[in-house]
């Protein structure tokens, strides 16, 4: 089973940069998109409903902002639009597809980089997300939670870690939250189960020469629960083309889909 996740930074912008022709060659079973920045009514062109996939969008109320999507080769048993928290759902940050015992979620956690109010919201969401993840880990389902978590977990996960310790995305409290998430061995950073190398980034600032110099952050994840721990086969960050300021994260699982 191949799963791709990408923060598109605007699905219409990604389309103009060649995302959909590339996607048609990837043989992905499920594609998780974040930051679509579009309403359904703005995505009427066939391009945004790629052939061979069942496509589902969850838009933000605010036009041109946030939004998530799922493209699924197999028709899901159920699609869940939203997590049930107004602060998340108004901004279109959660969509879940269920296939038997498997759930695949496209998740876009808030950034706190625009100011203290948004950072406070981010901390509030994290405070609620932790018990939510604990609860669902005990329900017997298998989970792959894909998306832009807007946190670089460890020093190896961003180039300039020394200079970013007071910046949103690498704050001590955010990193400690991820420590708690992964330390009890209920949830796992699927990428790091098989790739421990440095310089593995999924996002680059548009400032300066961050992309050309690979001065990036790894903030896009596929987070899995324990039943999938030994099912990760391969991982790949695609950087040959640029569809966004993020790169697609591609992962293969030994799992019947």
Domain count, the chain: 1
Residue 116 CA to residue 123 CA, distance in Å, equals 10
The string of pLDDT tens digits covering residues 2-54 is: 999 999 999 999 999 999 999 999 999 999 999 999 999 999 999 999 999 99
Q: E strands, 123-215, where? A: 142-148, 187-189, 203-204
User: Closest Cα to residue 90, out of 62, 118, 52?
Assistant: 62
Long-range pairs for 236-241 at CB < 8 Å and ≥24 separation? 237/200, 237/201, 237/202, 241/17, 241/18, 241/22
Count CB atoms within 10 A of the CB of residue 198.
10
Q: Which pLDDT score is estimated for 257?
A: 78
Per-residue pLDDT at 28:
98
What predicted TM-score, i.e. pTM, was given to this entire model?
A: 0.97
pLDDT of residue 156: 98
Active site includes 254? no
Using the predicted structure, report yes or no on whether residue 237 has a pLDDT greater than 90: yes
Average pLDDT over every residue of 124-138:
97
Catalytic residue, candidates 148, 157, 189, 220: 148
pLDDT of residue 113: 87
Q: What is the mean pLDDT of the chain?
A: 97
In tens, the pLDDT along 144-153 reads 999 999 999 9
Domain boundaries, position 121: 2-253
Q: Is the pLDDT of residue 139 over 90?
A: yes
Encode pLDDT of 173-223 as tens digits.
999 999 999 998 999 999 999 999 999 999 999 988 999 999 999 999 999
For position 21, which CATH number holds?
3.60.10.10
Q: What is the mean pLDDT of residues 59-72?
A: 97
What percent of the chain is predicted at pLDDT more than 90?
96
- The pLDDT > 70 percentage for the chain reads 100
**What pLDDT is stored for residue 114 in this prediction?**
86
């Amino acid at each position: 089973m191949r799963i791709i996740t990408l923060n598109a930074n605007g699905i219409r912008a990604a389309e103009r940069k060649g995302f959909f022709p590339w996607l048609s060659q990837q043989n992905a079973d499920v594609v998780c998109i974040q930051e679509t920045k579009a309403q359904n009514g703005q995505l009427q062109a066939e391009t945004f409903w790629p052939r061979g996939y069942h496509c589902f969008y969850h838009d933000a109320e605010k036009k041109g902002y946030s939004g998530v999507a799922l493209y699924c080769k197999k028709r899901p048993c159920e699609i869940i639009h939203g997590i049930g928290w107004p602060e998340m759902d108004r901004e279109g940050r959660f969509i879940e597809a269920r296939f038997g015992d498997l759930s695949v979620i496209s998740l876009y956690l808030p950034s706190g980089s625009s100011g203290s109010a948004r950072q406070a919201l981010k901390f509030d969401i994290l405070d609620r997300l932790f018990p939510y993840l604990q609860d669902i880990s005990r329900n017997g389902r298998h989970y792959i939670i894909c998306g832009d978590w807007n946190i670089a977990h460890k020093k190896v996960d961003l180039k300039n870690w020394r200079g970013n310790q007071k910046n949103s995305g690498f704050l001590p409290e955010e990193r400690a939250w991820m420590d708690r998430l992964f330390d009890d061995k209920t949830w796992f950073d699927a990428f790091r189960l098989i790739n421990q190398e440095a310089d593995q980034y999924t996002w680059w600032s548009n400032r300066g020469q961050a992309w050309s110099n690979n001065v990036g952050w790894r903030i896009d994840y596929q987070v899995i629960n324990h039943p999938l721990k030994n099912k990760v086969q391969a991982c790949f960050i695609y950087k040959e083309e640029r569809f966004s300021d993020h790169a697609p994260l591609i992962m293969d699982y030994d799992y019947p889909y």
